[in-house]
Amino acid sequence: LWLEIELQKALQNNGLEVWYQPKVHARDFSINGAEALVRWNHPVEGYISPAQFIPVAERSGLIEQLGQVVMREVFTTVRYWKTQGLLPGKVAINLSPQQFGNPNLIQFVDKLRKATGVNPNDITFELTESAVMSDGEHTIQMLNAIKKLGFSLSIDDFGTGYSSLSYLARFPLDELKIDRAFIKDIEEIPKQLTLIENIINLGKSLNMSVVAEGVETRQQATLLSNLDCHAIQGFHFYKPLPKNELEATLHKHN
Ligand code: G
Ligand code: G
Ligand code: MN
Ligand code: NA
């Protein structure tokens, strides 16, 4: 309850930040996009992990407001980067199942798009398997509505949620992010590499771009590059960065 009350205060006082973790092209490791990740710098406790406060936000309903704060910040920033010639590719926003379950999301996103002048082409929404699998009819309608506005869709943490794959064929998804659980031990478990290779081919055959996440070593990066996935994300390349640090990085690489 303490956390919930403090989070409520943070939302009222502009206490949340959005950081960005770049993704890189698997071919040449140049930056090809970024994932927006919310950060909370508590006045007394310092940084509190989203792994801790996102579940609290989801249970308490604060996720609705938190999500709106994040989307407003990201849309505004992406539009600004575009005008500065800094935008390195699409920027991804994570959506909780609760956010995705609320039909008002569509109207909110549409209004925000108009208000900020962002190009929806520059934004991807990341959804987990549990978010898209919970209710088939609702899901299809929501995904189609988001696509119709011009945004892209990504399936996050692929392979760890529901075992049914049928949604891949039915839903208009642009990107598949292989969960880092698969990447962790690719060097130790040979079959793991075979599995990843086949997930990459599965995504490609469905016209999805495939991202490997949680890449922490050069060896992992090389293996994935050789498997010809589209993009790589992980601490080996970049940690999540505050907006100004990402801007400095983008200036250097431009
Ligand atoms: O950034 P970090 O690895 O600590 O994130 C932990 C979890 O919090 C991840 O599952 C991530 O998807 C989630 N998360 C981070 N930022 C956001 C956000 O803005 N909205 C939602 N719904 N989840 C987020
Ligand atoms: O669930 P989701 O994929 O959205 O979680 C994103 C979170 O994963 C980010 O907040 C980031 O802190 C974390 N992350 C990103 N790259 C790595 C990595 O290479 N290793 C580990 N352990 N975590 C990572
Ligand atoms: Mn994600
Ligand atoms: Na993920």
At 108-158, the pLDDT tens digits run: 999 999 999 999 999 999 999 888 877 778 889 999 999 999 999 999 999
In b/e form, how buried is each residue of 226-239, taking b as 16+ CB within 10 angstroms? Answer: ebebbbbbbebbbe
Which of 160, 157, 125 is CA-nearest to residue 143?
125
From the CA of 233, the nearest ligand is 2
- Judged by DSSP in three states, 88 sits in coil
Best residue for ligand 1 mutational test, from 18, 37, 233, 241 (most atoms within 8 Å of Cβ) = 37
Which uninterrupted H or E stretch holds 34?
A: strand 31-42
Query: Percentage of residues in the chain with pLDDT exceeding 90?
Result: 87
Q: Which residues line ligand 1 (CB under 6 A)?
A: 37-38, 49-51, 54, 67, 70, 94-96, 240
Give me the chain's average pLDDT, please: 94
Residues with CB under 5 A from ligand 4 (ion): 156-157
Q: Bridge partners of 124?
A: 92, 152
Mean per-residue pLDDT for 159-188?
89
Q: What is the pTM of this model?
A: 0.97
The model's confidence at residue 165, banded by pLDDT at 50, 70 and 90, is: confident
- Alpha-carbon span 225 to 69, nearest angstrom: 35
Q: 111 C-alpha to center of ligand 2: Å? A: 30
In angstroms, the Cα distances linking 125 to 46, 101, 120, 201, 244 are: 28, 14, 10, 22, 23
Q: Which residues line ligand 2 (CB under 6 A)?
A: 21, 37, 94, 156-157, 180, 213-216, 233-235, 240
Best residue for ligand 1 mutational test, from 18, 19, 38 (most atoms within 8 Å of Cβ) = 38
Tell which atom from ligand 1 comes closest to the C-alpha of 156.
12
Question: 74: which 2 tokens?
Answer: 């990201």
pLDDT value at position 137? 83
Q: Specify the CATH number for 2-253; select among 3.30.499.10, 3.20.20.450, 3.40.50.720, 3.40.50.2300.
A: 3.20.20.450
Question: 95: which 2 tokens?
Answer: 């959506």
Q: 147 C-alpha to center of ligand 4: Å? A: 21
Residue of minimum CA distance from atom 6 in ligand 1: 51
Q: 71 C-alpha to center of ligand 3: Å? A: 14
**Could you give the residue ranges of the DSSP H alpha helices within the chain?**
2-12, 50-60, 63-84, 97-101, 104-116, 129-133, 136-148, 166-170, 180-183, 190-205, 218-226, 243-253
Residue 64 · residue 102 · CB < 8 Å = yes
Domain boundaries of the chain, sorted by first residue: 2-253
**Which single residue is written with the structure tokens 């108009």?**
114
Q: Bridge partners of 42?
A: 46
The model's confidence at residue 203, banded by pLDDT at 50, 70 and 90, is: very high
Q: 127 C-alpha to center of ligand 1: Å? A: 11
pLDDT value at position 252? 87
Residue 31 · residue 37 · CB < 8 Å = no
pLDDT tens, position by position, 33-65? 999 999 999 999 999 999 999 999 999 999 999
Tell which atom from ligand 1 comes closest to the C-alpha of 240.
1
pLDDT value at position 254? 67
Does ipTM come in above 0.90?
yes
Q: 196 C-alpha to center of ligand 3: Å? A: 18
- Alpha-carbon span 94 to 35, nearest angstrom: 8
- Alpha-carbon span 39 to 41, nearest angstrom: 7
Residue 215 · residue 177 · CB < 8 Å = no
Which uninterrupted H or E stretch holds 124?
A: strand 123-128
Question: 77: which 2 tokens?
Answer: 């920033």
Question: 145: which 2 tokens?
Answer: 């509505």
